[in-house]
Structure 1
Amino acid sequence: MSRTLIARPLTAQAFAPFGQVLEATGDYRLINAGLCRRFHDRAQLDFGPEGRAGISIFHAEPRALPYAFDLIERHPQGSQAFLPMTQNPFLVIVSADPDAAPQAFVTAPGQGINLNRGTWHGVLTPLHAPGLFAVVDRIGATANLEEHRYSQPWTVLAP
Structure 2
Amino acid sequence: MMPPKVPLLPPDAAAFAPYGHLVVPPDVPGRRQFYSDTLHTRPAGSAPVLHVNHVLPQSLPVEVSGIERHPHAAQCFLPLDVARYVVMVMPSDGQGQPAPERALAFLMPGTMGISYNPGVWHLGATVLDRPGHFAVLMWRGGPQQDDEFRTIAPMTLVAQP
Gaps in structure 2 of 5+ consecutive residues? 93-97
Counterpart residue type for residue 138 of structure 1: W
SS class of match (1:54): strand
SS class of match (2:66): strand
State which of 31, 35, 38 in structure 2 corresponds to 1:44: 38
Gaps in structure 1 of 5+ consecutive residues? 31-35
Partner of 2:146: 144
Higher share in helix: 2
Counterpart residue type for residue 66 of structure 1: P
Partners of 2:90 and 2:52 in 1: how far apart? 24
Aligned-pair CA distance for 1:82: 0.4
Identity %: 31
Partners of 1:43 and 1:85 in 2: how far apart? 22
Partners of 1:58 and 1:84 in 2: how far apart? 10
- TM-score, normalised to structure 1, is 0.86
Counterpart residue type for residue 25 of structure 1: P
Coordinate RMSD, CA, aligned: 1.8
Aligned-pair CA distance for 1:149: 0.9
1:104/1:156 contact within 8 Å kept? yes
Aligned-pair CA distance for 1:25: 3.4
- TM-score, normalised to structure 2, is 0.85
Question: 1:6-155 residue pairs with structure 2 within 5 A?
Answer: 6-25=7-26, 36-41=30-35, 44-45=38-39, 46-97=41-92, 98-101=98-101, 102-141=103-142, 142-150=144-152, 152-155=153-156
Counterpart residue type for residue 99 of structure 1: A
Runs of 4+ aligned residues of structure 1 deviating over 6 Å after TM superposition are none
Aligned-pair CA distance for 1:40: 2.5
| Greater CA drift, 72-81 or 44-53 | 44-53
Partners of 1:41 and 1:115 in 2: how far apart? 12
**Deviation by residue 1:54-74 (Cα, 9 ceiling, x = unmatched):** 110111111111000110110
| Greater CA drift, 15-24 or 87-96 | 87-96
| Greater CA drift, 114-123 or 100-109 | 100-109
Partners of 2:122 and 2:132 in 1: how far apart? 17
Aligned residues: 151
Partners of 2:36 and 2:9 in 1: how far apart? 22
Counterpart residue type for residue 51 of structure 2: S
1:22/1:43 contact within 8 Å kept? no
Counterpart residue type for residue 151 of structure 2: R
